[in-house]
Structure 1
């Protein structure tokens, strides 16, 4: 059995655990997780704003875990005075940005190290024609980018 200290394949682990396939929750759990009433969720499904997951032999609706974030984002904009149509525009813009940022990090992450104290350091590859390396550190929830020559 490998020790925690010898584990170094963090990038594969991150890609594996961030997959959303097969993770579903029911309507009552979605209500609890977001604070949005079931009647509002049904309306959003009818309007195509959120989509339940097709689960064979299930009568009740199930949602992917990504829908939790989508519903929370919609609610955030509604709670801040946006109309539903305007909230959806912003949520869709954010979704595109979110996917692009995930892809950028997944595509460019070359190394990830986690210190005993939980600090994280990520190498995002070379920049400036290979003369420097872009790095990201995360300490106590605060992130910092820097270059290393």
Structure 2
């Protein structure tokens, strides 16, 4: 099931103008245009005379670049770190979307159900004493 169906929101319609991005991030529109010129970010298709607009995915990328810049990284390094993070995030999202089957009650605690394993056990994700752990349970 897609994220759009799960959330009930068309995230492709979450669009922010360049001035909104500038206000949210304290990055000047001039700087955003420079990043775009360098190919670090991209706006939605421009119409003549219209201001630049960014979708949610690009907005998150911009925020990530800004965060790494604030930590003292160069622009090129910040962009690379955001790209690396995006790759890891995509791998995790893909894995979870395939394995996650919902939540369930496991011994009185809420658990994430990651489905059945080849040996007939089910794997659950739980929080024990503030730490994420996996539990294997025999299917009944």
Give the TM bin, normalised by the shorter chain.
0.7 to 0.9
Relative to structure 1, the CA distance from residue 79 to residue 144 in structure 2 (aligned partners, 3 Å threshold; closer, same or farther) is same
Q: Which residue of 1 aligns with 2:122?
A: 133
CA distances 1:43-70 after superposition (whole Å, capped 9, x unpaired): 1111111110126677111100111211
Q: Secondary structure at the match of 2:69?
A: helix
**Superposition deviation, residue 15 in structure 1:** 4.7
8 Å contact from structure 2 (residues 4, 11) kept in 1 = no
CA distances 1:25-80 after superposition (whole Å, capped 9, x unpaired): 10111112222221111111111111101266771111001112111111111111
- Structure 1 residue 62 corresponds to structure 2 residue 50: no
- Structure 1 residue 147 corresponds to structure 2 residue 138: no
Structure 1 residue runs of 5 or longer lacking an equivalent are 1-11
State the alpha-carbon separation in 1 of the partners of residues 115 and 134 from structure 2: 12
8 Å contact from structure 1 (residues 124, 133) kept in 2 = yes
- Number of matched residues? 131
Structure 2 residue runs of 5 or longer lacking an equivalent are none
Listed as ranges, the matches of 1:88-99 within 5 Å are 88-99=79-90
Q: Secondary structure at the match of 1:21?
A: helix
What's the TM-score once normalised by structure 2's chain length? 0.77
User: RMSD in angstroms over aligned alpha carbons?
Assistant: 2.8
- Structure 1 residue 112 corresponds to structure 2 residue 103: yes
Q: Which residue of 1 aligns with 2:33?
A: 42
Listed as ranges, the matches of 1:2-13 within 5 Å are 12=1
8 Å contact from structure 1 (residues 112, 122) kept in 2 = yes
What's the TM-score once normalised by structure 1's chain length? 0.73
Q: Which has the higher contact order (CA 8 A, sep 6+)?
A: 1
